[in-house]
Amino acid sequence: MHIETIKAYRLMQPFVEGRYNMSKGRGADGFDAVIVSVTSNTGLTGWGEMAPLGNFYSAAFAAGAQAGVAEIAPHLLGQDPRALTRLNRLMDTVFKGHPYIKSALDMACSDLTARAAGVPLVTMFGGRESDMADLYRVVTHGPVETMAANAKQIVSEGFHRLQVKVGGIVHDDIERVAAVAASVPKGTVIFCDANAGWSAYQARQFVDATREIDYTMEQPCVSIDDCLSVRRSLDKPMVLDESVTSLEEMLDIHRRGAADGLTLKISRLGGVTKTRQIRDLAVDLGFMVTVEDTGGAEVDTAAMAHLSLSTPEERRLHAIAFHEWVTVRTARNAPPVIGSRMGIPDGPGLGIDVDLELLGKPFLDASY
Ligand SMILES: [Mg+2]
């Protein structure tokens, strides 16, 4: 079997709830996604997706993803799409760095491989550990009263896990988290995600003033050194997200005892093949793990769901349903969301059925 055709489409995916805000004025109105199809000479097609969150979240941007996919795709034509490790090595050989441009291609080849084997991707990722994964919802950064009201609303919809955005002016963030915690029932799981917005000094001020509140701290500062220094005065669990950019970084975090949990983002790590490898090692090393991504709709959410459900329940933190964030429906048979939990679609591969009409004309159409 070999790769006969690669197509890539650009798709704007506006957010249902309007602007998504993080600290320091960072925000986005939607995902600007690249969706990739890889078709074999035997007529099988696999799908992949990559969408950055604006230009400010990870070292990735939409125009870069489009240009990168177009640049790297011709190297994959004629290759066996099922030779995933080899394909990843090839992509890293012909194009140094830039893992996010490789992610949708790796995802599409993985989908194709599982479809060829007649198994869902979750089976290829190590096997299904449970039927559904717990979802979290984000309370985006804003005025104290708005955040408390949003948290209350989310909980009233049946969710038990909140990620509260912090990382701005410390004293305001202390008020934000106190107001959110006071507005939700006891037992609601709260993550305070600073998105690397604080210095260690600021993070320590926040930690000291919020000792009475039950939460998990997520990525307070940019560097692992600063996060580790905060962790030394933290009496709560610490999760790192932005710092986990590769296998080497994950091992470094482990060696230095810098975190209890990790948020693995598929595109930041270069695709599902590498994410699966890092996930498996992280689980064996004792980390709690969330597998998610920087953005995307049904294709990307399905990939996240297959990786989440193949993560052992006792090591899994939570998942996110990005396809419910956006106003476009890119596929039928999307990952089912029941209450505050998400499953995987039935069927081989990702299990989804992409709506070709919605995608329109590809910006890349390359054949062997
Ligand atoms: Mg985060």
> Per-residue pLDDT tens for 105-144?
999 999 999 999 999 999 999 999 999 999 999 999 999 9
159 CA to middle of ligand 1, Å? 18
Spell out which residues have Cβ within 5 A of ligand 1, the ion: 193, 241
Burial string for 120-149 (b: 16+ CB within 10 Å, else e) reads bbbebbbeebeebbbbbbbbbbeebeebbb
165 CA to middle of ligand 1, Å? 9
> Quick check: pTM over 0.95?
yes
Please give the positions annotated as active site.
165, 265
Judge whether 314 lies within some domain: no
Judge whether 195 lies within some domain: no
Q: How many domains does the chain have?
A: 1
Judge whether 217 lies within some domain: no
76 CA to middle of ligand 1, Å? 32
> And the tokens for 360?
């329109």
Judge whether 97 lies within some domain: yes
Judge whether 263 lies within some domain: no
Q: Distance between CA 109 and CA 256 in Å, rounded? A: 35
Predicted local distance difference test score (pLDDT) of residue 264: 98
Judge whether 20 lies within some domain: yes
Predicted local distance difference test score (pLDDT) of residue 24: 84
Residue type, 191: F
CATH code for position 56 = 3.30.390.10
Around Cβ 293, how many Cβ atoms within 10 Å? Answer: 30
Predicted local distance difference test score (pLDDT) of residue 69: 98
C-alpha angle with apex 66: 61 to 67, nearest 5 degrees? 95
Judge whether 66 lies within some domain: yes
Judge whether 144 lies within some domain: no
135-159 average pLDDT score: 97
58 CA to middle of ligand 1, Å? 11
3-class secondary structure, 150: helix
Predicted local distance difference test score (pLDDT) of residue 190: 98
Predicted local distance difference test score (pLDDT) of residue 57: 86
pLDDT in tens, 6-50: 999 999 999 998 898 888 888 899 999 999 999 999 999 999 999
295 CA to middle of ligand 1, Å? 12
Q: DSSP characters for 171-205?
A: HHHHHHHHHHHHHS-TT-EEEEE-TT-S-HHHHHH
Question: 77: pLDDT confidence band, cut at 50, 70 and 90?
Answer: very high
Residue 244 clears pLDDT 90, i.e. is over it = yes
* Domain residue limits at 36: 3-119+354-367
